[in-house]
Amino acid sequence: MPDGIYFTAEHELLRDQIRRFIAEEVLPFADAWENDGMVPRATLRKMGAIGLFGVRYPEAYGGSDMDTRATVVLAEELGRSTYSGFAITALVHTDMASIHIFNAGSDKQRKRYMPGIISGDLITAVAVTEPDAGSDVKSIRTTARFEENNFVLNGAKMFITNGVHADLYCVAAKTLSQEEGSNNVTMFLIEKGAPGFTVSRALDKHGWRCSDTAELVFEDCVVPADSVLGEVGQGFYAIMRNFQNERIVLGAMAMGEAQAALDLTLDYVRTRKAFGAPLWEKQAIRQRLAMLSAKVEAGRQLVYATSVRDAAGEEVVKEVSMVKAYCGELVNEVMYDCLQFHGGMGYMRECPIERMTRDARIQAIGGGATEVMLEEVAKRI
């Protein structure tokens, strides 16, 4: 929902552009993408062609050089599409993976890759999570040993969004065996097809069905020393830095999803009759929807206000953690009741709210589980 307190006319033009793209290029086709388990590359290139992959990147690379608020607009509107698998495919590329290349990449890496990233010709993934290490980044086991001006990677990554079809992977590995904890992680930029790097399998998910998700395996994967993103041993800090952006993105996406669910449900209960009157006439139903609307507005305002502070360069770790915890839980609360008010129809695969409810479940897990986020808040209150 547009808000003139936080957004400029430029942001609202971006919002209108995204809505037109979704209406014309997503909604007519996305059911097929759900069955196929992927968003077509042609669609992603169209997003790039109209500038949606470069809203935060400099004009020198083909971007629009906007701020955090543009990220929020993009994420919120993609969430409103009702196809969250499509939304996360795009948002991982724009704000969770390629941002590592822009923030930590060398001039040579940026010049080589950023134009293709922004155009949609190169799609990115970020590979940090492992079977035994999710939110606990320090516990990753993938290693990278230095040999003859190369690094040799061994290990596996799990639950990697865009993992099947990406072209470029930002991969976290431990590089300094004598160090422990925060100074023992390095990020690498690895192209698909690198010797020893394989996409082990595509994963079959509960939701986000049109988002391709993979397990990756590195078996003596040799990459040149200039594949390091940033400095050796500084990858943990790069990951933590980007978590703030990622969590704002996920919060905005969740509020877009929640608003779309409320809109669909309000339309449904105003027309669906039971016991001789529309469901809207039942006090319990309309009051519950009124309370959910109030909560979603509160969540949206928290996202917006946090994005303004982040754009101004303020320290917002506490607020971002609140965003991720509150919005991730709230979208699931909204979906539960919206499906309930759809009755039996809400349980059918043909009903959008059924898909949206499945898609929303991950919002309380991915990008920082609610419990982890609440601990971050607790440290700062």
End-to-end Cα spacing for the chain: 30
* Burial class of 267 by CB neighbour count within 10 A (0 to 12, 13 to 18, 19+): exposed
Cβ contacts of residue 229 below 8 Å, gap of 6+?
Answer: 100, 101, 104, 105, 109, 170, 186, 187, 188, 189, 235, 238
Q: What is the largest CA-CA distance in the chain?
A: 79
Contacts of 210 (CB under 8 A, 6+ apart): 30, 33, 34, 36, 37, 38, 39, 83, 85, 86, 89
Cα angle for residues 109, 147, 117 (degrees, 5° grid): 20
Bridge pairing between strands 124-127 and 168-174: parallel
Among positive and negative, which fits the CA dihedral 10, 15, 16, 22?
Answer: positive
User: What value, to the nearest 5°, has the Cα angle with vertex 361 and ends 355 and 364?
Assistant: 155
Tell me how crowded residue 235 is: count the other CB atoms within 10 A of its CB.
31
Q: Give the residue among 260, 258, 253 at the shortest CA–CA distance from 366.
A: 253
Catalytic residues: 246
- Phi/psi at 244 (nearest 5 deg)? -65, -45
Token duo for residue 91: 């948002």
User: How far is it, in rounded angstroms, from Cα 240 to Cα 274?
Assistant: 51
The alpha carbon of 215 is separated from its chain's Cα centroid by a whole number of angstroms, namely 18
Helix axes 370-378, 317-341, angle to 10 degrees: 140
3-state secondary structure (DSSP) of residue 274: strand
DSSP string, 29-84: THHHHHHHTS--HHHHHHHHHTTTT-TTS-GGGT-----HHHHHHHHHHHHHTS-H
Q: Which of 254, 211, 256, 252 is nearest to 80 (CA)?
A: 256
